[in-house]
Structure 1
Amino acid sequence: MSEYPNSTDVLVVGGGMAGLAGALALRENGANVTLVERAPEFGEVGAGLQMAPNASRVLKRWGLLEKALEIGVQPKHLVFRDAVTGEELTRQSLHGEFEDRYGAPYVVIHRSDLHRVLLEGCVAAGVNLVNDVTVDSVETVDGRGVVHTAAGVDYEADVVIAADGLKSTLRPLVASDEPVSSAYVAYRGTVPITADTPATDLEDVVVYLGPDCHLVQYPLRKGELLNTVAVFKSPSFERGEEQYGGVDELEAAYKDCVPAVQAALANLGTGIRWPMYDRDPIENWVAGRMVLMGDAAHPMLQYLAQGACQALEDAAVLQDVTAGTVFAADRVNPADWDEAISAFNTARAARTARVQRTARVWGESWHVSGLARTLRNLLFKSRQDNDFQYNDWLYGQAGEGVPAPGAPRVASRLTA
């Protein structure tokens, strides 16, 4: 018998996208899972997010994709334009050949809606969800993870999943790093789509690329809302100010952009802005019986729209590497956890590091000026629709993980 009254197979720290996905994945394998969240209620802030096929395949696996499609939007195209001239640079059709190739749709969805889909999935699966728990530390004692909380209540588990985000309390157990400032900030906003909303592009994800700035628009909630995100290089953020008491920086960043971009700034909520950070990739995510996942392990800039997508990939691979060992014959085998979390770390670290690094480079290419902008536009315009050479490594089904002993290959499971 455990000396800890709060004992479970798996203890997940953090109730965001990654934590809920990880909890659901392991509960699907038969584990007793407790998830603790510091907030008094579950919820998600922000606006829309893009869910590429590598993520929607995971929802499909869990039987949650239809719920996401009921409230989300399947855009017809991903379109890039020059923000200064308005000219189209390239587009990717997101139906037909694209969906057939990647085995799942491209979906745009409000962050709170995707969070609710995952939360309801956890509730239905029987995950034990606990709010108002602030985790201070984790240690490994006699082969089990012990979680110490601010309230003095301890939890014990065979394994602890640290999914506590960019500013993770538990990441210092494996790395002595800090978040890296990008010098860019984002303003976001969602407004109702009305008869006065310009009809252009309401079925697409449209990205306008400008010097030191970009703007993204797409519909949400079955076309009821228009989501707008403006990202620009901020002098005040470079000085260390996360928030700023005016909109002069925002207006100045887009002063040379086409009227359609400038008009879209009116859709933004300017009461708060999101400073953009990531971290340098790390190879090791494991400390004893604790393992990082999601933004705690691999926070990334948003230029590839992969933050939530990689969290869902994490959960799918975690499910696979535990299915044939830890949960063999429908019985949890605690002795196999060390091998399982090591296999998860090995399967995911290189993949997510590539996404993190590519997101940085991709963002730099969006924001160039002068000759570099001319060359970028020429390169983009040389690409034909349904040229998948730049998509396959990210959206494709190969290389998304490794098989656990006795388990099917992750690549094939992710298409199920």
Structure 2
Amino acid sequence: MGQTNSVAVLVIGGGIGGLAAALAISRAGKQVCVLEQAPEFGEIGAGLQLGPNAMAVLDKLGLYNEASKYAVFPERLVIMDAIKGRELSALDLGREFISRYGYPYAVMHRSDLHTVLAEACRREGNMSLLTNKKVVSIQDHGAEVEVLCQDGSVYLAEAVIGADGLWSTARKLLVEDKPIADGFVAYRGAVPLSGMTAHARLEDVVMWIGPDMHFVQYPIRSNELYNQVAVFKSKRYHEGAEDWGTPDELDAHYAMCCPTIQKAIQYIHRDQHWKMFDREPIDNWTQGRITLLGDSAHPMYQYMAQGACQAIEDSDCLGRMFSLHGTNIDTVFAEYQKERIPRTARVQRSVRTWGEIIHASNPTTVLLRNTIMEQRASTDYSVVEWLYGGHKVKAENQAVI
């Protein structure tokens, strides 16, 4: 057994959600320690979309301007027909959108946002960030929580936040569920924009949709890189299978697409892919002095680009509850999940529904979907009002856009 350390609040997981939560809790006056199992703090993946609901929280944390240095602020969200190559619908992200929701829509590299959060955490006087800390057990002893790491170190905490992602160790204390796959897999590629000749309008975030697939394109890192994500449903997938979602399947599936995508798909990296999972929403995230946050609480598919946004919202709520209720951890966690569980469950379920809509293959369903999309105006925000409305904060940084 290694050294025993006493901390006020322990955050397990140093991803975007974990760091945002640590920062918000630290700002509430609590001592925070973050345990990250990797050798260093960092993010895998490439592009990240941040709605105004997430940008508002970044501003509240004092990170809006720093994050904006790396971000791109698109003019529209556009849905294209991946087969016929024509525009189906768009959402205007200009002045009316910003005025309505208080903040702009942004896209950026995941690692850039993670770096901004990590640097802010390192500036906090009451926070420690530790790497190579793989958590192997968590035990709630009533007055404190004991966390044991693989290296033998032990942490005794007043409160523990499980922000350890899809395969969460902390979640196992609450429910014996498993991640759910629906056969979809994602391939990604961020390439220098200077070498990219097959792209849509650089001012837009573009989602091309087709039967059991979608393809996303947008610039990141202040227009230096072009991010692309190719998603499709594997015909080889079945429960228990391992060899599915392979590069040959990627090429075969995308062979039906229009010439623009045919050219763009050549830039997708084929050496790594991500099998996609979510979990069923649960009605409790808390056991004693332990609660969940981000993907450990509400993992979701990427179809609405809300995974990181909801984790960032979680962090803001948790920080507010610590500010309001101080050392009363029972009340902090009870009020936190009372506010967050209904919203995140709605997002999780909406993502699944949206996935069925954009991936539709039945000709009648596709015709109905396309007809509805083509008839809506780009300034019709009714479809996103529930998601972005209610998070309106004074947009003090509008002038920088």
TM range (shorter): over 0.9
- Alpha-carbon contact 1:58-1:414 (below 8 Å) kept: no
Map residues 6-405 of structure 1 onto 2, 5 A cutoff: 6-126=5-125, 127-194=127-194, 197-198=197-198, 200-238=200-238, 240-242=240-242, 246-326=246-326, 334=327, 336-369=328-361, 370-397=363-390
- Alpha-carbon contact 2:29-2:323 (below 8 Å) kept: no
Describe the shift of the 1:246–1:282 C-alpha distance in structure 2 as closer, same or farther (beyond 3 A): closer
Alpha-carbon shift at residue 198 of structure 1 (Å): 4.5
Alpha-carbon shift at residue 241 of structure 1 (Å): 4.4
Alpha-carbon shift at residue 236 of structure 1 (Å): 3.1
- Alpha-carbon contact 1:143-1:158 (below 8 Å) kept: yes
Alpha-carbon shift at residue 351 of structure 1 (Å): 0.5
CA distance in 2, matches of 1:208, 1:224: 22
What does the per-residue CA deviation read over 1:29-62, in whole Å, with 9 as the maximum and x for residues that have no partner?
Answer: 1110000111111111101010110001100111
CA distance in 1, matches of 2:216, 2:257: 13
1:97 counterpart SS class: helix
Percent of residue pairs bearing the same amino acid type: 46
Describe the shift of the 1:365–1:199 C-alpha distance in structure 2 as closer, same or farther (beyond 3 A): closer
Alpha-carbon shift at residue 235 of structure 1 (Å): 2.3
Alpha-carbon shift at residue 226 of structure 1 (Å): 0.7
Alpha-carbon shift at residue 245 of structure 1 (Å): 8.8
Normalising by structure 1, what TM-score?
0.91
Alpha-carbon shift at residue 397 of structure 1 (Å): 2.1
- Alpha-carbon contact 1:61-1:415 (below 8 Å) kept: no
Alpha-carbon shift at residue 227 of structure 1 (Å): 0.5
Describe the shift of the 1:33–1:122 C-alpha distance in structure 2 as closer, same or farther (beyond 3 A): same
More deviation, 155-164/188-197: 188-197
- Alpha-carbon contact 2:196-2:226 (below 8 Å) kept: no
CA distance in 2, matches of 1:26, 1:186: 34
Aligned AA for 2:351?
A
User: What residue ranges of structure 2 are gaps of 5+ in the alignment?
Assistant: none
CA distance in 1, matches of 2:239, 2:178: 17
CA distance in 2, matches of 1:11, 1:202: 42
Alpha-carbon shift at residue 247 of structure 1 (Å): 2.1
Alpha-carbon shift at residue 243 of structure 1 (Å): 5.5
Alpha-carbon shift at residue 169 of structure 1 (Å): 1.1
More deviation, 241-250/152-161: 241-250
Alpha-carbon shift at residue 182 of structure 1 (Å): 1.7
Describe the shift of the 1:413–1:195 C-alpha distance in structure 2 as closer, same or farther (beyond 3 A): closer
Aligned AA for 1:347?
E
CA distance in 2, matches of 1:60, 1:311: 15
Describe the shift of the 1:195–1:22 C-alpha distance in structure 2 as closer, same or farther (beyond 3 A): closer
2:350 counterpart SS class: helix
Alpha-carbon shift at residue 117 of structure 1 (Å): 0.9
- Alpha-carbon contact 1:147-1:155 (below 8 Å) kept: yes
What does the per-residue CA deviation read over 1:51-100, in whole Å, with 9 as the maximum and x for residues that have no partner?
Answer: 11000110011110111110110011110011111111111111201011
CA distance in 2, matches of 1:89, 1:315: 35
1:176 counterpart SS class: coil
Normalising by structure 2, what TM-score?
0.94
1:236 counterpart SS class: coil
CA distance in 2, matches of 1:414, 1:130: 35
Root-mean-square deviation (CA, aligned residues, Å) is 1.8
